[in-house]
Amino acid sequence: MKTMPNNVFQAICACLVVAAIAALPTPLSPPAMAHGYEHAGLKIKHPWTRVTPPGAKVAGGFVTITNTGKQTDHLVGGNFALSKRMEIHEMSMNDGVMRMKQLDKGLEIQPGQTVELKPGSFHLMFMGLSASPVEGKPVKGTLKFEKAGEIDVEFAVAPLGAKSHSDEEGSATGGGHDHGDHHKHH
């Protein structure tokens, strides 16, 4: 009679431990790929760009930014070691027409908001490339915010035409950390 509750207690403990481990937040992205920065209430996750075709004068840059602070901030610019200028653009597709718009006032990030700069959407425009980024060789740069100031970052370099930073040849859907991702199409 005495041992039974003990066993049950142990079993419950074991279950709780397993549940707690399962409930732990998964790493932001596979450890080999992930890099990020935190500065003045901003979380900057995995800035990246991709290889451009020879002779390309522009490249797109991508990053996910979360405002963990209490003030609204704006991403207003920055620089990229291989380009003359950085602008912030929004791309849209309507009725088969691709449209580009420069965001003159920058990109607003409200407290608690996460803004994703990604292919087909908001992106950094590196204008006047002096050289093409090389796959696997990170490029130094900065991201400039209206309130948080300028932050040093490194842009990871993905292959030509990659649709996301984990989109490598043969593993387009990324690693095993995406089970909770409801934004996936297919």
Applying CB under 8 A, among 45, 48, 52, 63 the residue interacting with another protein is: 52
Measured distance CA(88)–CA(106) in Å, rounded: 7
Q: What Rg, from alpha-carbon coordinates, does the chain have?
A: 21
| Pairing assessment for the beta strands 97-102 and 83-94 based on DSSP bridges | antiparallel
Spatial CA neighbour of 122 closest among 105, 136, 102: 102
Contact between 140 and another protein by CB under 8 A: the answer reads: no
Applying CB under 8 A, among 11, 15, 85, 136 the residue interacting with another protein is: 85
Our CB check for another protein shows the closer of 22 and 97 to be 97
How many residues of this chain bind another protein (CB under 8 A)? 32
Q: Find out whether 26 and 174 touch, Cβ atoms under 8 Å.
A: no
Measured distance CA(181)–CA(177) in Å, rounded: 9
Give the binding range for another protein (CB under 8 A) out of 38-46, 68-76, 99-107, 150-158.
99-107
User: What is the residue whose two structure tokens read 């309130």?
Assistant: 147
Contact between 131 and another protein by CB under 8 A: the answer reads: no
Applying CB under 8 A, among 59, 139, 143, 151 the residue interacting with another protein is: 59
Which spans of this chain sit near another protein (rule: CB under 8 A)?
52-60, 85, 87, 89, 91, 93, 96-102, 119-120, 123, 125-127, 160-161, 163, 185-186
